[in-house]
Each structure stands twice: as structure tokens, then as C-alpha cells.
Structure 1
Amino acid sequence: MQHLADEQRRIRLGRRHRLAPSARADSVVAVADAVLALHATDPATVFLSACARLSQPGIAPVEQALYEDVSLVRLLSIRNTLFTVSRELAPYVDASNARSVAAKERRTLLKYLAEDGNGLDEQWLTLTERETLAALAARGRATGSELSAAVPALRTKITFFPGKKYEAVQGVASRVLRILAAEGHIRRDRPRGSWTSSRFRWTPSEPWGPLDPAGARTELALRWLRSYGPATEADLTWWTGWGLGQLRKALAAAGAEEVRLDGSTGWVAPGDSSPEPALEPWAALLPGLDPSAMGWADRSFHLASEHRAALFDRSGNIGPTVWWNGRIVGGWAQRADGEPVWRLLSDVGRDATVALEAEVSRLAEWVGGARITPRFRPPLERELSA
């Protein structure tokens, strides 16, 4: 069995995730495909993750891909989380993950409607969705508030968790729109405000074509191994959210090959077990929830355990990170005036400091005057930004 040490995993990360200068991409789509999916719960993360990997970073090319070319799309999918993927990969993500997420969202809302006791049922939901889609088609694009003004049913309020101590009365609009988006009938368009805003407009869309879920899982597993391998079953299970049986069938169908890691065994794509040549020294500033930081369940090959408390929030979300040669060595933030600030948690030497200062300047240049506050804020980010 071929042995791929942790250093090899860090070399692959720098090259395949387009983080080393020699590996940077010329297009946003190439970046997205390199890491498969860009975390999109926080809209700024898509821009920060993409620009860290672009040879010519900028807001305009990301917006062009998202809203003009629509070569990147946002999907509620993997682990019931919003991700941005390339349009070419989207049908596989839809069939392997998003369809089941959409079905669960629909079942959950129907359950809440039934518990409310006001006669709201599946027929009511279907009619509300039709009216919403018709209103959106007539306008071309609209915010949730604008659609609620046009469709009275969207202004309906129901009681969630009746009888519980966390009982709450809420409107149904956001949940109806969430279902329509998860099923592919609508998509998020340009937000109201800047590129950091999450107040998206909605626009009509078409559901993705039918793909066999098992075949889609096989394709997604194969692509994941090419980007993140070598990795363990636990890593891929965590990333996809699939059951162990589904995962093992996908690995077998993909022809995955077993390799020996430092302290465990893992998997690579077929023919991908040979060591790779070293990279030039590289530094990176990555945003919270970046795929290179969150892509594995076990991150010990690039993250020292003593750094976790400073870089993660209480829910396990990682904040903005500083990288040197495939390792997380610190964190960064923006001050109130927009100035990027960073702190090392490891002693990495003068060369690393010089390279990181260059990355800070590169980041500040394309971000301009935008103020970015991560949605999930770990202790170090809060301290640095204060």
C-alpha cells in the first residue's frame, strides 16, 4: 500500500486548492471546481475564497460568474448548507444531496402547518407556491419582501413549536422561498446593497435535469478525492453527509484506491497515489468556513490542536485563517476602519512574515473600502477586530 505522509497532503492542498502562487486560477469557475463547493452561508465568503485563489482577484469577475454568466450557482445542499458550485457540477450535487434536502424542507414545513391548526395544508402550500412563482415571473426579480407584498398568502404567520418553551410566531415567506429555491424553481440573484449583503433578490430558474442519485454520488466522490484526497471515509462522510453504506458504494463504483496515511488509512482517486513534487513557499489569508479549512473531519495534518480554541466558535465553525505552506498558523480580521490585521499562532520565521505581509496588501487592494464581519466569529477574530 502506497504511503502518503502529511507533508504530501499539504503539497496537494496547496496545488489542487489553487493556493500556491504557481497554482492560482484564471477564472472563478476553475476555483470553484478546484474545491468543488464554496461555502455561501456568508455571502462575503464566496468572494474571499475565490479571490484568494485567483491570479487576478477582484469583485467584478465573481459577480459576473454569479449573476451575469450564471456559471456559478448557489444550492442548499451538502449538510443542509448553502454552497456555491459550478453550473457543470450542480446537477451532481442536486441529485446526490440537494433533492433530499428539499424533500426534508417540504416535509418540515407541512408538519408545522398541520401543527398550527388553522387548516393550512399541502393544497394551501401548493397554491401559495404557484402564486409566488407567477408573481416572480411577472417581475423578473424581486426580494422576499416584494413577493410578500404581491402574494398575501406569504404574509401568513403560524406558530412554530407550539407548547414548547421556545414557541414562536413567524411568517412562512422565508420557508416557502427556501423550498422553491432548494427545488430549483428560483435562485438567488444580485443582492440589495454591496457584494457582502445577504439581502438577495430572487429570480426564476429551472430545476436540474434528472440524474440517478447513486451515479451522482459516485461522480461527486471521485471529484472530491481528486481535490481532497488522500482522505479517510470519515472525512468524506462528514463532507457529504451521506450514510456509510452510500459512501462505500460510491467509493467502490469510483474505483477509489486505498493508501496508508500517517496514523491511518485513506483513499485516493484511481491512479492518484504517487507522491507529488514540492511547491514553492506560499502564504494565504482565507475566510471563515473556507473549504481548505473545513474540507476534512480530521484536520490534524494542517491544523495544530492547540490552535483550535482561538480559531473556532462554539459550534465548530472556523474563522478567518492565516496559512503558511499548507498549515494554519494564525488568524486575521478587519478593524473597524477596514484595515486587515493578523496574528501568528506558530513561529514560522521571517520569510513567512514577508510573504504574509504581501498577501495582506493583496487582500486590502481588491477589498477596497468594504467592511467584512464574518457571520461566525471565533475568539481570535473578535479580539483582532476590536
Structure 2
Amino acid sequence: MPDPTLGRLRLVAQGLVTRPYARPVDAVAASVAMQGQDLPGVLASAALRTTSGRVADVVADLDAGRLVRGYPMRGTVFLQSADDVTWTTELCAAPSLRAAAARRRQLELTDADLDRAREVSLAFLADGPRSRADLFARWDAAGLSPTGGRGYHALFVLLGEVTLVYGPWNGTDQDVAIAREWLPAGGTLEARFNSDRVAATAEMLRRYLTSHGPATIRDFAWWTKLGLKEIRAALPLVETDLESDAASDAASDVASATGEPRYWRPGLLEEAAALGRTTAAPLLLPGFDEWVLGYADRLFAMTDDEHAALVPGNNGVFKKSVVRNGRVVGTWTRSGRAGQRRLELTEFAPHSPRQRATLERLFAGYPWVSA
């Protein structure tokens, strides 16, 4: 069943109510990563957590190399601080890379083909980042046809091993860059954590729970695909820096239905209480925002039927969500030509005239990356 109290607390924890971050990179680093296969959507997600709310600031962080996208976990592309890409990918990406290797024969790709793609890429991008289309054309010219999914597969592997990374904005997309030239030095698992996987897991866990909590370690396990044994070994390293429903009867209203402890950053409950009805105000969120996708169970925010409307056919494509009172109450889209854009709503619950006016105002100020 939907849990509006939990939903409102998570909105505050994620910065969607108070927009506490000075820069987009600060918002993204606090979260460790934001799911990023919808590039305009994740740029908006980062902007919506900042003081300015400007997508231009997100693009500036991309162009300065402070923000990048890669494949750190789950075989999914994420927006991350450049400081975090290498060590999180080394920690979490191995299972998705193994799964990719198992599919390679179907694509008629060999290890030698990937070695050649790596060699060609490093030579082609030595003078600076280039578009994905340009890189695929260079592969094709080198006898490595990118058609039939082969190009995307090879690029996924090169990003997943942190040979390449999605870097600066080119007006419509991110260019592809050589990771060692685009990312800051000293970001490896060895350099950051002396190759201690438990210490690295603890750092990810701490940031996840402070930015996503109230959440359980099973939420984190689902989010990262790290093993519960490794996560449970890391928990004592961060547990004293968190609050939990296991430690206080006063927090019983955010206890998980399974009885498993939920954790959150200190002071979250008090902050949410002080914000009062502000935590229930309407919001327009992108389709793949972490508030919806950052947990193992999304039904804290909606019913089964509403989830089916948000993700038609359960095909992994999420519509943009209208949120009110800690719940998804509809979906939205933008229609019309540039300069004549209008908000179109599909309601799960009716909006009052005042709520509709608020949504129109939010739509007018939404951080679109293009007109």
C-alpha cells in the first residue's frame, strides 16, 4: 500500500523539497549516482535538487568534467560525480560485464573485436571527446560494424571497464571521452580505499542511506547488486552515523512492512516535521527520477494500477510523474511546438484549481535541456 509519510520523508532526504545543493555535482555526489538512460531527465533530476534549479548549471558541470555518465552497476547508465566513477564501477560492475560477455556470441563479437574497438577508440579520441555517432563511424571504417547492437555492446563494455566515459555536452548528447584523460586522478578503488571492498561498500551505503533513506540495506542491495554479505559487513562502519527505526519507538511510523530496519540521515524526521505541509506540495518529476527508481519496491508511492500506468506494459520505460503529498498522483508530458509548449496531465487523483496552477508554474520553470 502507498505510504505518504515515507514518500514525504524521502522527498526531503533527496533534496526535492528544499533544493539544498549549491551545484548539480553536489546533488549527484550526495546520491552516489542517478539513473541516467533518459539523459534530459537525469539532467533535470540533478537541477531540481539545486538552489538555482538551472539545467545550464548541470551542462556546465558536464563540460567542466565534474559530472559524467558511465555504467557503474546493474548494466544501467548513471550520472555520477567524476570523482566517483572509477571506484564505484570497479566495486559493482563485474556482474553486468560477465552477463554482457555471455551475450557476445549472439552478437558475433569476439574478444579480439573488443580489443580492436578499444585500440581504435583510444587513438580516435586522443585529440579530445567526440560524439558517439562519430565513434561508431570510426569503428565501421576500421571494419568493426556497429550495427545490430554490436556498437552499443562494445561501448557498454568500454564504459563498464572505465576505458571510456560519457563526458561533455555537445548540444544534443554527451560526447565520448577517454576516461584516464577526462576523469581526475586517484579515483580508483586502490587509491581511494586501499582496495578494501568493505570500506568502499560502506562509503556507498552511507551516501545511499543519507540521500535515499528511510531505506533498508535490501534497498541498497537491489540498487547496487552488491551481495548482502558484503553489505552487512560494511553496515557497522556507518551505522553510528545514521538514525534507524530499530533504535526508537518514535520512528515506528517509518518502519518497513517486513520488520527490517530502515536507516536515514540524522535529523531527517525533525526537518520534515518543521517543513510541515511543504513536504506535500505538488512536484513535476522526470521519468527516471531516483525518488521513484531508487528503491526495491516502488509501491510506497503508488498502487499497482497506478504503477501500471506509470510504466505501461512494465517495459522499463517510465513516464514523468506528478507527485503530491508523497504520492504519485498522475503522469505528465510536454506538447506543442517550441515557444508554444503546454502541460498535459493524466490524473490518478484530481487536482484542485490551486494545485493545477502550481503545476503550471512548475512546468514554466522546469529545467529543460532543449526548447
Give the TM-score band, short-chain normalised. 0.7 to 0.9
Percent identical among aligned pairs is 24
**Matching residue of 1:331:** 331
**Matching residue of 1:156:** 144
- Whether 1:249 and 2:233 are equivalent positions in the alignment is yes
Deviation at 1:48, TM superposition (A): 1.9
**1:350–1:278 distance in 2 versus 1, CA, 3 Å:** farther
**Matching residue of 1:357:** 360
Q: Which of residues 257, 279, 297 in structure 2 aligns to 1:263?
A: 257
What secondary structure sits across from 1:222 in the alignment?
Answer: helix
What secondary structure sits across from 2:297 in the alignment?
Answer: coil
**Matching residue of 2:128:** 140
Equivalences for 1:281-320 in 2 at 5 Å?
A: 281=278, 282-314=281-313, 315-320=315-320
**Matching residue of 2:69:** 74
Equivalences for 1:363-382 in 2 at 5 Å?
A: 363=366, 366-367=367-368, 370=371
Deviation at 1:55, TM superposition (A): 3.0
**Matching residue of 1:101:** 96
**Matching residue of 1:185:** 163
Deviation at 1:28, TM superposition (A): 0.7
Aligned residues: 341
What secondary structure sits across from 1:246 in the alignment?
Answer: helix
What secondary structure sits across from 2:312 in the alignment?
Answer: coil
**Matches of 1:149 and 1:264 in 2, distance apart?**
51
Pick which of 332-341 and 50-59 moved more. Answer: 50-59
What secondary structure sits across from 1:221 in the alignment?
Answer: helix
Q: Which of residues 209, 234, 245 in structure 2 aligns to 1:225?
A: 209
Which structure has the highest helix share of the two? 2
What secondary structure sits across from 1:263 in the alignment?
Answer: coil
Q: Which TM-score applies when normalising by structure 1?
A: 0.76
Contact 2:169 2:175 in 1 (8 A): yes
Deviation at 1:37, TM superposition (A): 2.0
Q: Kindly provide the CA deviation profile for residues 13-64 of structure 1, in whole angstroms up to 9, marking residues without a partner as x.
A: 23221222x4443311122134332221111112221232333233321111
- Whether 1:18 and 2:3 are equivalent positions in the alignment is no
Deviation at 1:77, TM superposition (A): 2.1
Contact 1:230 1:268 in 2 (8 A): yes
**Matches of 1:176 and 1:63 in 2, distance apart?**
26
Q: Which of residues 34, 50, 53 in structure 1 aligns to 2:49?
A: 53
Report the AA paired with residue 361 of structure 2. A
**Matching residue of 1:28:** 24
**Matches of 1:29 and 1:144 in 2, distance apart?**
23
What secondary structure sits across from 1:264 in the alignment?
Answer: coil
- Whether 1:214 and 2:192 are equivalent positions in the alignment is no
Structure 2 unpaired stretches of 5+: 247-251
**1:142–1:369 distance in 2 versus 1, CA, 3 Å:** closer
What secondary structure sits across from 1:323 in the alignment?
Answer: strand
Contact 2:220 2:295 in 1 (8 A): yes
Contact 1:141 1:202 in 2 (8 A): yes
Pick which of 254-263 and 229-238 moved more. Answer: 254-263
Report the AA paired with residue 143 of structure 1. S
Q: Kindly provide the CA deviation profile for residues 243-294 of structure 1, in whole angstroms up to 9, marking residues without a partner as x.
A: 3333333334432655341633322158668654242422210011110111
Q: Which TM-score applies when normalising by structure 2?
A: 0.78
Pick which of 272-281 and 312-321 moved more. Answer: 272-281
Contact 1:330 1:342 in 2 (8 A): yes
Q: Which of residues 312, 319, 344 in structure 2 aligns to 1:341?
A: 344
**Matches of 1:328 and 1:54 in 2, distance apart?**
22
The alignment's C-alpha RMSD in Å is: 3.2
**Matching residue of 1:40:** 36
**Matches of 1:310 and 1:109 in 2, distance apart?**
32
